[in-house]
A and B are shown apart, each in its own frame.
Chain A
Amino acid sequence: MDFNAIVSAVMSNIVFYLLAFIIIVFALMMVTSKNLVHSALFMIVTFLGVAGIYVMLQADFLAVVQIMVYIGAISILLVFGVMLSRRDNMDRSNLNNSFGVAAFFVAAFLFVIITRLMVATEWIGLVSTRPVESTAGQIADLLLGPNMVAFEAAGLLLLVAMVGAIILGKGVDQSK
């Protein structure tokens, strides 16, 4: 292994652990925050970290889509939902119910089991051999070729969801 390969391996280690640290810490802050608006902002940072993980996995198109859809659309929608549905004190807007301890043990137990299974499994091909290249063209070929029907169904689903959201939010005129 020559010097450049060692440097790039060390750099990818550093970047991965930094991103993982950001994701986990901000996700925990999101879950434990008592203020719903702060939770939404922590969630945006978590989504940014996930976009960084996509870049590390050479999924450039998905990283951009993650930023546009999750940070640009879903987070803003959630913040709008908070603003439209709260009038009183924001500091106590995101309280826990009485299942806290039980839910903590269930989540921790699930994490331990999954981690145990993943460490014990003998994965093939642990080091990727894929060359670094743009993924948008190949995704377009897959979406408009073999997965054409699913692609159209997804478009229909988005249209139905949009019309449904408008009708649910606006209400139907009963007089007609």
Chain B
Amino acid sequence: MITLQHYLILAAALFCIGLFGAVTKKNAIAVFMGIELMLNSVNINLVAFNRFLAPAKLTGHVFAIFIMVVAAAEVAVGLALIISIYRHRKSTAVDDLNLLKW
């Protein structure tokens, strides 16, 4: 029988893999992919909690939809920023973006 804990542990594993990817990657687009994985794991958590602990109303689904909206907006603006930075500096490596360091 699949219980709430199975879903939570799956989401935890996905979150930690995304965290590892977001921290270790050099390319800013790969960092974005890690962040997307983390957002997905949070959505799994919300839907699983809603189904098992409060199945009367679908509040968790609505939360997940808002997270998807914010993720889509974040990716659109972030990629526009990355492409704009690439045009000026010919690089998408986050290590090269040290303009504010003195």
Chain A residues at the B interface, C-beta cutoff of 8 Å = 9, 12-13, 16, 20, 23-24, 27-28, 30-31, 36, 39-40, 43, 46-47, 50, 53-54, 56-59, 61-62, 65-66, 69-70, 73-74, 77-78, 80-82, 84-86, 93-97, 99-100, 103-104, 106-108, 110-111, 114-115, 118-119, 123-130, 135, 138-139, 142-143, 147, 150, 154, 157-158, 160-162, 164-166, 168-169, 171
Interface residues of B in 38-66 (CB under 8 A from A): 40, 43-44, 47-48, 51-53, 55, 57-59, 61-62, 64-66
The 8 Å CB contact of A139, one of B21, B25, B62, B69, is: B62
Contacts of A46 on B, CB cut-off 8 Å? 14, 37, 40
B97 interfacial contact with A, CB 8 Å: no
Please tell me which one of the listed residues A20, A40, A139, A171 contacts residue B33 in the complex, with CB atoms under 8 A apart: A40
With A39-B30, A111-B13: A74-B36 Cβ-Cβ less than 8 Å: yes
Which of B5, B33, B65, B70 has the largest number of chain A CB atoms within 10 A?
A: B33
Partner of B57 from the list A84, A142, A158 (CB cut-off 8 Å) is A142
Contacts known (A142-B58, A158-B73); A127 close to B3, Cβ less than 8 A: yes
What 4 A-B pairs have minimum CB-CB distances, sorted nearest first?
A: A161-B73, A168-B80, A130-B55, A165-B80
Contact B79 A107 (CB under 8 A): no
User: What B residues does A36 contact at CB under 8 A?
Assistant: 27, 29-30
CB–CB A99/B16 < 8 A: no
Q: Are B76 and A157 in contact (CB under 8 A)?
A: no
* Interfacial chain A residues near B52, Cβ < 8 Å: 123, 125-128
Residues of B near A77 (CB, < 8 A) are: 75-76, 79
A103 engages B20 (CB within 8 Å): yes
Bound together, the chains give a CA A114 to CA B18 distance in angstroms of 15
Task: Kindly provide the distance from the CB of A61 to the nearest chain B CB, expressed in whole angstroms.
Answer: 7
What residues of B have a CB within 8 angstroms of the CB of A123 in the complex? 3-5, 52-53
Binding site for A on B (CB under 8 A): 1-10, 12-21, 23-27, 29-30, 32-34, 36-37, 40, 43-44, 47-48, 51-53, 55, 57-59, 61-62, 64-66, 68-77, 79-84, 86, 92, 95
Question: Which residues of the partner chain A approach B20 to less than 8 Å between Cβ atoms?
Answer: 31, 103-104, 107
Q: How far is the CA of A164 from the CA of B55 in the complex (A)?
A: 38
B95 to chain A, nearest CB (A): 6
The reply to whether B69 and A80 contact each other, CB–CB distance below 8 Å, is no
Asked whether B77 lies within 8 Å of A23 as measured between CB atoms, the reply is: no
Contact B82 A85, beta carbon cutoff 8 Å? yes
Give the shortest distance, in Å, between A82 (CB) and chain B (any CB). 6
